[in-house]
Amino acid sequence: MTDLHIDIDRLIERLAALAEIGAIAGTEGCARLALTDEDRAGRDLVVSWMHDLELNVTIDGIGNVVGVMAGSTEGAPVMTGSHIDTVRTGGRYDGNLGVLAGLEVIETLRIANVTPDRPLAVAFFTDEEGARFPPDMLGSLVYVGGMGVEEAHAITGIDGATVGSELDRIGYLGSAPLPGAAPHAFVELHVEQGPVLETEGLTIGAVTGVQGISWTEVTVTGQSNHAGTTPMELRRDPGVVAFKVGSFVHELAHELGAPQVATVGRIEMHPNLVNVVPASATFTIDLRHTDNDMLLKAERRTKDFLTAAAASENCTIELRSLARFDPVIFDETVVCAVENIATAQGHAVRRMPSGAGHDAQMLARVCPTGMVFVPSVGGVSHNPAEYTSPEDLEAGANVLLHVMLDLAAT
């Protein structure tokens, strides 16, 4: 079966068709925030492809969709997949590649009349991005039993809607049992979304794990006042606290050094008017590190700074944790399979951790799990200009094909 290979034109065609949904005008990217009408349309298209491939399709109570191809034996499937929800400035490969390459693997086997020993499954998990409804990887977290489905349904998004009401509204409040059945193994193909593979001239990343993630929403409350009449010493300006903390976490990441990263991605002032000293400022802090002790240290340093900055402006603070996931190490057998198969196929490969969060980090809780990375041009992602060459897409999908067959033979 080593001569089996995917059809890259078919894969690129599907990527393009899916990217049409929520397309960002003038770019190659798309915007399909979780559980929006655009997400529903994307889901409907991928489900139609699953049916075309005669997969047994199930939808669970958090809207995860799993398509299964029967094997020559019964038992838990080898699963692949990822997500098809995007951020507002999404590229066409983030998540989508992992799902559509999974369908391409199935179609390649169907055409070659190959039945794998074990069943194969392709999944897309709900709300991987967590951008509308935090935390990220919400669907796969519920799938593995890391959060109850009722608790997930009650999550309120940045626009005030709840997960449960939106799942119902778009018709993806399914009935398949949760937690979902543990696969025999899980392997996810994903664009690297960083600069490492391209910089080192490599084609495949054998991903060793995912770094720890800490998301906090901070609300600083001061006193709204007149921008023209209020002397500086009488102000209680939450905006000043937000700006100080934003630059503090940036400096802290530089001080602690890679792989520490820190981002203030969302900030809202109230009443957000040019001539009003704000009443409140709400912003998010995203901290990440491969080492949990270092991540805890960064969280502590940030909280201490924030508390002092608020006190100096005579403001109060309220913190809300949006996501907190420890670093994850992937299963050595799966990492080895990726490494060995990529090498056997003649690709330059290296082991590396993932800077981004992925559904695989949740599936790692219930089965042997790994990931395959392919290069992102310029290391750019969460940007409509996100790009991976057809050669690298093909290499990644062929490695996925043979890693899945290898895992399905055990």
With CB under 5 A as the contact rule, the residue among 95, 183, 368, 370 that binds Mn ion is 95
Residue 296, C-beta contacts closer than 8 angstroms, at least 6 positions apart: none
Tokens 């790994």 sit at which residue?
Answer: 370
CB of 66 to ligand HGY, least distance (A): 20
Does 94 engage in binding with Mn ion (CB under 5 A)? yes
- Contact, 14 vs 49, CB < 8 A? yes
CA 355, CA 210: separation in Å to the nearest integer?
6
Residue 139 near ligand HGY by CB under 6 A: no
- The answer to whether residue 357 forms part of the interface with ligand HGY (CB under 6 A) is yes
Considering only 71, 130, 180, 222, the residue that binds ligand HGY (CB under 6 A) is 130
Closer to ligand HGY by Cβ: residue 127 or 392 = 127
Residue 259 tokens, joined: 């792989």
Ramachandran angles phi, psi of 212, nearest 5° = -70, 150
Euclidean distance between CA atoms 75 and 70, whole angstroms: 10
95 binds, among Mn ion, ligand HGY, none (CB under 5 to 8 A by kind): Mn ion
- The half-sphere exposure of 408 on its side-chain side, counting CA atoms within 13 A, is 29
Q: Of 42-50, 51-59, 87-95, 151-159, which part binds Mn ion (CB under 5 A)?
A: 87-95
CB of 392 to ligand HGY, least distance (A): 20
How many angstroms from the chain centroid is the CA of residue 62? 16
> What does 285 bind: ligand HGY, Mn ion, none (CB cut-off 5 to 8 Å by kind)?
none
Among 60, 104, 127, 128, binds ligand HGY (CB under 6 A): 128
Residue 130 contact among ligand HGY, Mn ion, none, beta carbon within 5 to 8 Å by kind: ligand HGY
H or E segment at 87?
none
Angle made by CA atoms 390, 101, 113, in degrees to the nearest 5: 110
- How far is C-alpha 41 from the chain's CA centre? 19
> Judged by CB, which is closer to ligand HGY: 29, or 119?
29
Please identify, using beta-carbon distances, which residue of 193 and 302 lies nearer to ligand HGY. Answer: 193
Which residue number, 22 or 130, has a Cβ lying nearer to ligand HGY?
Answer: 130
Nearest-approach distance from CB 131 to Mn ion, in angstroms: 8
- Number of residues near ligand HGY (by CB under 6 A): 6
Task: Decide: is 129 part of the binding site for ligand HGY (CB under 6 A).
Answer: yes
Helices marked H in 78-162: 96-111, 138-143, 149-153
Site for Mn ion contains 127 (CB under 5 A): no
Q: CA torsion angle for 217, 218, 219, 224 (degrees, to 10)?
A: -130
Residue with Cβ nearer ligand HGY (84 or 241): 84
Rule CB under 6 A: say whether 356 interacts with ligand HGY. yes
Which tokens sit at 163?
Answer: 């997960």
* Whole-angstrom distance, CA of residue 146 vs CA of residue 137: 10
Nearer to ligand HGY, 163 or 220 (CB): 163
Please report, as ranges, the residues that interact with ligand HGY according to CB under 6 A.
128-130, 136, 356-357
